[in-house]
Structure 1
Amino acid sequence: MTSMFNLKAPLRSALLILVLAFGVASCGTAPQTQPSRNLGHVLLLGDSITQAAVGNKGYRYPLWKHLVDGGYQFDFIGSLTHNFDANNTASTTSVSPYPDYAGRKFDTRNEGHWGWKTTDILGKTAPTRTPGTGAGKLPDWLAGYTPDTVVILLGINDIRVASAQSVAATKANMKMILDALKADNPKVLIYLASVLSTKADFAEPQKIRELNEAYKELAGQYAAIRYINIYPKFDPAIHSYDGVHPNSQGEQVLADAIYEAMKR
């Protein structure tokens, strides 16, 4: 029998390298599980921050570009395809310019409803400035589609000074929204984002912080709901055009934060 040590030096060296390489590979740690790149039907649910006014793109567009660049499989869904037009609140055809990217056209479908509260989403109250802000309610929408991934940015209109709904009531409504989404698809993955900081005469800073703590606690009650803390990243003096709604910088801040959460 020919042993390794009877082989010529070059061949013996090559075999030793192969043996060592095999040993290192077999002793290495198991590869980590990566997040799925198939997000399925993606629902972006919220208020004006999601819908965006005509002339603005909203966070949806830079988020879409991130997902395209990341090689994700996804399909935006929703009953809305237009932006809100303050000069014509009845318009359902006003759409901001969304340039093609990487050879693809932007999918404008979403469920962002300008000025809506959690109570409007649930159908408990009647929203204003319709049909430009949208129509229907969550149970109606879920009868027409089933989300696999949901991003929620909602609640600031509930606790704004003009509304004065309590944090506890808003949290309870959000739980109803989460439960409805889970009932529609038990495997749905939900990203619940913090509400954003605003100018003080729109919403009290302390109340915003309390609602965000409530949302964080609520998300912790579910295995497949992840809380995204965008609040400290968003400065309304820098990232908004009116103290409430994101400018292009702010839209990018939101998109970046949401995408980073999706990658984890």
Structure 2
Amino acid sequence: MLAIVVAGVLAMPGLGPVAAPAAAADEADPVRILLFGDSITQGSTGDWTWRYRLWRDLTDAGISVDFVGPRRDLLTYTPPAFGSLHYKDPAFDIDHAAAWGKRLTGKGFSVSDVTETYQPDVVVGLIGFNDLRYGVTPTALGEKWRAEIALSRDAAPGVDVLLVPLPHIGVVGVRAYNDELAVVAAEMDSPDQRVVLAPRADFGSLDVYDWVHPSASGERKLAAVVEDGLAVLGVSGGARMLELQDPVLAERWAPSPTAGAIGTEITVRWPAVDYASSQRVRVADLTTGVVRTVRGVLGTSYVMTGEPGHAYRFRLYPVKGYLPTGAVSTAARVTIN
């Protein structure tokens, strides 16, 4: 059970705010939060991640938090590989306990393992999608959560657990699993060792970039429901996530193309990027004013035939999954002699 001091106010779960001595705010230890999950939590190159958005909102509100866990990395999106630190903005506490392909019932570190090692105040669990895909039943997942929570309490007495429903309600088994999480929370919650169910993020098609993994808007929604769940535990006053704007970064996050011509054949080239699955190439015929977009361009080049005497301009729009990343390249120009 947590008592969090924020700006001189003592917040206790289930109680209203109580004035606290100013010195208490200075002496308060950061809340240790373990974010346990799969690819939805780990993220991949070029992502902000919902972890970043949660950290930003909590720290902007004056809440001292320490994310803990055995990993700090993202998955390199293209080609897939663990170990990347290519966050959209790495200026946050990047520790976590999540990995692409991770299953609650699978091999590798478990909830109770990392709880014993890192002694968090709160475990946030957003996992189960891969288990359902591999045929694990919602009932079996509920039993696994019960076992892991019991072991975690033995390893770190007083630890609180926040269970986060999966947002993908169109996927077979997800609704039943989310219902099971609610049952687990109701059964295992206690005044001294809380088990709380977060609200479910309401995902639409634009909140994911490949039907599974969150886009920027999906990240905001996930972080918001986690923060609302943490508020029940006394860790925050509730989410402001959807109101916050992304920082403006110096890096453009798009490759810089070059263009050359041999005869009437134009070749546009650009460096490989590790965060996009394809490029949209915007082709502008500056002579006629006609502009078109070529979608789904793979690799690091695009070839077309131009018209003699025409000038062309090219821009790249990197795409991740089926959504543009928001990045726009500098322009490359060429004239056919």
TM-score (norm 1): 0.71
- The one-letter amino acid paired with 1:192 is L
Unaligned runs of 5+ residues in structure 2 are 1-14, 19-24, 233-337
Paired residue for 2:61?
70
8 Å contact from structure 2 (residues 68, 96) kept in 1: yes
Structure 1 stretches lacking a partner, 5+ long = 1-30, 100-104, 124-134
The residue aligned with 2:176 is: 210
Structure 1 residues 252, 186: closer, same or farther in 2, change over 3 A?
A: same
- Which whole-Å CA distance do the structure 2 matches of 1:51 and 1:33 have between them? 34
3-state DSSP of counterpart to 1:84: strand
Q: Summarize deviations over 1:134-154 as a string: whole Å, max 9, x none.
A: x54445434431111111101
Alignment match, 1:102: none
User: What is the letter of the counterpart of residue 168 of structure 2?
Assistant: S
Matched ranges for 1:1-264 at <5 A: 32-33=16-17, 40-98=31-89, 105-120=91-106, 123=107, 136-160=109-133, 163-197=134-168, 200=170, 203-204=171-172, 207-221=173-187, 222-223=189-190, 224-231=194-201, 233-235=202-204, 237-264=205-232
Q: Sequence identity of aligned pairs in percent?
A: 26
Equivalent AA in structure 1 for residue 82 of structure 2: S
Q: How far apart are 1:89 and its partner, in Å? A: 4.1
Relative to structure 1, the CA distance from residue 183 to residue 261 in structure 2 (aligned partners, 3 Å threshold; closer, same or farther) is same
Residues 139 and 209 of structure 1, relative CA distance in 2, 3 Å threshold: closer
Higher RCO structure (Cα 8 Å, ≥6 apart): 1
Deviations 1:121-176 (A, max 9, x none): xx3xxxxxxxxxxx54445434431111111101111112xx12111111111222
Q: Tell whether the 8 Å contact from 2:38 to 2:101 is kept in structure 1 after alignment.
A: yes
* Separation in 1, partners of 2:81, 2:213: 21
Superposed CA RMSD:
2.2
Shift in Å, 1:180 = 2.2
Looking at secondary structure, tell me which structure has more helix per residue: 1
CA distance in structure 2 between the partners assigned to 1:158 and 1:178 by the alignment: 18
Instruction: Give how far 1:39 is off.
Output: 5.7
For 1:176 and 1:140, the matched residues in 2 are separated by: 12
The structure with more strand, counted as a fraction of residues: 2
TM-score (normalizing by structure 2): 0.56
